[in-house]
Amino acid sequence: MMVPEPSWQMWATFALIVGAIILYATERFPLEQTSLALLAALLVLFHFAPLEIPEEGAIILLDARTLLAGFADPALVAVLALMVVGQGLIRTGALDEAIRIMTRRFQRSPALALTVTLVAIATLSAFINNTPIVVIFIPVMATIAERLNKGPSRLMMPLSFAAILGGMVTLIGSSTNLLVAGAVAGMEQPAIGFFDFAGPGVLLALIGMAYVIWILPRLLPERESMASQIAGEGKQFIAQIEVRPGSPLVGQSAVAGMIPHLKGMTVRLIQRGEESHLPPFEDVLLRAGDTVVVAATRAILTEALARTPELVEQTEGEAEEGTPGNSMLAEAMVTPASRVIGRNLRLVGFHYHTGCIILGVQRRSRMMRGRMEDIRLEAGDVLLVLGPRERVTDLRFSREVLLIEWSTMELPARHHAKRALGIFTGVVALAATGVVPIAIAALVGALGMVTLGCLNVRQAARAVDRQVAFLVAAALAMGSALQATGGASYLAQHMVGALSEMGPALVLSAMFALVAIMTNLLSNSATAVLFTPIAINTALALNVDPMVFIHAVIFAANCSFATPMGYQTNLLVMGPGHYKFSDYLRGGTPLIVLIWLAFSLFAPWYYGL
């Protein structure tokens, strides 16, 4: 391998990279700020000290176009577009039915359900970007934790780790794999296929999953989630449901205070004209025109409304404004000086003044019995309201109620679930068969989600993680500078020189360990892009197929288990699991060592080293 003479630009690049790693690891500044600062420093450096590289008689300048090319990199486009596609699945509830089927089994065998759920998460993560998968399954794991009488801290980290392990199997399993594929394509190496590293990926995933299922929960502390500590998840609202002609409620009767179609809701009153029926509702069959007053949690009411919007009584104007897909659900508390205190919901005129409707009322002091519209409001009552996003956010300026900001949530557009599932299936099929590049398939899929109404433009824009965009662009710029200045060749030469007498297998193992450590300090994306050129140069120096070392970088860069900032899914479960930094070190470090040992023993046989 020909190694260029070290230049001061190379050492300056090393200094900038080390500085960026320190800032990324300490999180002293926002990731976007650090990424932009790094890009600016590289642009200034190579503008005033242009690097000329002789190659086949031509002069190639490491200019602004090259350093900023990361923003247009197909791998980055694919990652961001897949985020939009995944958000479309979440917003339409396309996977909710499958999740509901799984939750039915919690009653009989929660432990088996946990194992099946984690395996399902790993399997789905092989074909869907694992970030939306974790978002979808966080409430599922919370339900399993409740059934097992365990704190969410025992199950949320396994959720993240299972998603990361599943992402090791296919090309689109994680953003790391796509970024390495993009970097490889830019270095005149053969393109990485959809299932090219599935063999060792499946083995590592199986070994890792055994650890995640049987060992990891025992290493994690029993700790309640923040949501449980503030006791917000189990509070009951009084809600009112009108039985309309043709409703599935017609002809049903309550069994032990529960109506089969209103799962999870306790029936407190059935009003039929002037006649009121109280529990136990013996021989009462629901008819069109009846009013059913129920007590249910917000989660149950949200699920029922998303599944059957007609359950909620709305006027024609309300129905036009408050439909799933363009509506927001939120909680608002009646203020002590509110003018609605002492007035019932009929007289308040809430929809006239705010454009929102009241779905339920919750009072901490006691559970009310009677029709919701007859309830006289008191200071401190919590109202569950539904309305267009703009109208709900306008409640911030209301003197009558105080909007509880953290409670706002958009309703899923269930009527577009089949479209979203079809678009997602098409994206996976196109990417898996190689009909078009992944970037094109993902971008077309993202466009389809917006065009067919699964997402609006604002929701699609919010799905794009700007931290990922800036971090990836900065990492690709670092990789370009490292390659152009000869830094990658320099590092590869010294690694080979230090380990050359040990053989390719030990060099491969050492590189895996180095990348696995760096991916937890920096980020999986940045580490993958930075070490890909180093891996290729190392393989060429050892006269080994570069793809062997490229696969090692993919697997090692996915070992983001020991720190919360190592991978985005770790950050997603940090709040629900109520984790500390040390929890990731305790649970993730043994998994990294286990996968490193498994790869080090399996790779020489599999790749014929």
For residue range 243-261, what is the model confidence (pLDDT) as tens digits? 888 788 888 887 766 787 7
Conformational region of residue 608, where left means phi above 0, alpha means psi within -120 to 50, and beta covers everything else: left
Give domain status of residue 357, yes or no: yes
Residues 211 and 471: their CA atoms lie apart, in Å, by 31
Mean pLDDT computed over every residue of the chain? 79
C-alpha separations of 255 from 233, 246, 263 in Å: 25, 21, 11
Lowest mean pLDDT segment, chosen from 62-66, 128-132, 291-295: 128-132
pLDDT in tens, 1-42: 444 567 888 888 889 888 887 787 676 787 788 889 989 999
Distance CA 417, CA 160 (A): 25
333 & 403 share domain: yes
- How far apart, in Å, are the Cα atoms of 378 and each of 345, 369, 394, 459? 11, 15, 22, 36
Distances from the Cα of 500 to the Cα of 450, 492, 493, angstroms: 53, 11, 10
Residue 298 vs residue 602, higher pLDDT:
602
Q: At what angle do helices 504-521 and 487-499 cross, to 10 degrees?
A: 130
Q: Which is it for strands 58-61 and 52-55: parallel, antiparallel or unpaired?
A: antiparallel
At residue 301, the pLDDT reads: 79
Query: Mind listing the pLDDT tens digit for each residue in 51-80?
Result: 765 554 445 557 788 888 878 877 678 778
Quick one: tokens of 577?
């699991």
The answer to whether residue 261 is domain-embedded is yes
Q: Give the CATH number for residue 334.
A: 3.30.70.1450
Identify whether the C-beta of residue 421 lies closer than 8 Å to the C-beta of residue 86. Answer: no
**63 φ, ψ to 5°?**
-100, -170
560: closest CA among 510, 511, 515?
A: 515
Q: In what order do the strands lie in the sheet with 275-277?
A: 275-277, 266-272, 291-297, 236-242, 357-362, 382-388, 327-334, 401-410
- Residue 499 three-state SS: helix
| Span 139-162, average pLDDT | 79
**Which of 410, 435, 460 is where one domain is finished?**
410
This prediction's pTM = 0.64
CB under 8 Å to 9, separation ≥6 — which residues? 45, 46, 49, 51, 485
- Distance (Å, whole) CA 420 – CA 403: 32
Under the phi-then-psi rule, with left for phi > 0, alpha for psi from -120 to 50, and beta for the rest, what region is 281? left
Between 13-17, 181-185, 531-535, 576-580, the lowest mean confidence (pLDDT) is in 576-580
More confident residue, 149 or 544: 544
User: Which of 76, 84, 59, 80 lies closest to 185 in space, CA to CA?
Assistant: 76
Residue 271 included in any domain? yes
**Mean pLDDT score, 85-113:** 71
- Which percentage of the chain shows pLDDT scores above 90? 15
What is the three-class DSSP state of 146? helix
| Candidate from 133-147, 154-168, 385-399, 412-426 with smallest mean pLDDT | 133-147
Nearest to 500 by CA among 515, 510, 513: 510
Task: Give the whole-angstrom CA distance, residue 377 versus residue 338.
Answer: 10
Number of folded domains that form the chain: 2
**332 and 405: one domain?**
yes
Residue 388's domain spans which residues?
A: 326-410
**Does 252 map to a domain?**
yes
Instruction: Identify whether 270 is part of a domain.
Output: yes
Amino acid (one-letter) located at 201: G
Looking at the fold, whether 282 and 335 belong to one and the same domain comes out as no
For position 102, what pLDDT does the model report?
64
pLDDT average, residue stretch 465-475: 76
* Predicted confidence band of residue 231 (pLDDT cuts 50, 70, 90): very low
Instruction: Kindly state the average pLDDT of the residues 447-461.
Output: 87
* 319's tokens: 């129905």
Domain boundary among 346, 375, 410: 410
Q: Last residue of some domain: 378, 410, 442?
A: 410
Count of Cβ atoms closer than 10 Å to residue 608 Cβ: 9
SS (H, E, C) 237-251: EEEEEECCCCCCCCC
- Whose CA is closest to 143, among 112, 108, 114, 118? 114
For residue 305, how far is the Cα from the chain centroid?
Answer: 24
Structure token pair of residue 416: 């577009």
Nearest to 607 by CA among 569, 552, 570: 552
**Structure token pair of residue 98:** 């499958």
Residues in CB range of 110: below 8 A, 6 or more apart: 144, 147, 148
Could you tell me if residue 251 is inside a domain? yes
Q: Which residues pair with 240 in a beta bridge?
A: 293
pLDDT of 229: 43
Judge whether residue 587 has pLDDT over 90: yes
Cα 434 from chain centre:
26
Report the SS3 class of residue 412. Answer: coil
* Residues facing 563 on adjacent strands: none
Cα distance between residue 117 and residue 141, in whole Å: 8
User: 227: Cβ–Cβ under 8 A, 6 or more apart, which residues?
Assistant: 233, 576
C-alpha 510/C-alpha 499 separation (Å) is 9
Confidence (pLDDT) at 239: 82
Burial 216-244 (b: 16+ CB within 10 A, else e): bbebbeebebeebeeeeeeebbbbbbbbe
Q: Which residues fall within 8 angstroms of residue 516, CB to CB, at 6 or more apart? A: 556, 557, 559, 592, 595, 596
Q: Is residue 336 part of a domain?
A: yes
pLDDT tops 80 at residue 547: yes
With the C-alpha atoms ordered 475, 479, 482, 484, is the resulting torsion angle positive or negative?
Answer: negative
Q: Are 330 and 394 part of one and the same domain?
A: yes
Shared-domain flag, residues 285 and 336: no
CA neighbours closer than 13 Å in the CB half-sphere of residue 513: 13
Please determine, for residue 146, whether its predicted confidence score (pLDDT) is greater than 70: no
pLDDT of 574 > 60? The answer is yes
Tell me, yes or no, whether 114 lies in a domain.
Answer: no
Residue 310 pLDDT > 80:
no
pLDDT in tens, 316-373: 444 444 444 567 788 889 988 888 888 887 778 887 888 888 888 887 656 566 677 7
Judge whether residue 91 has pLDDT over 50: yes
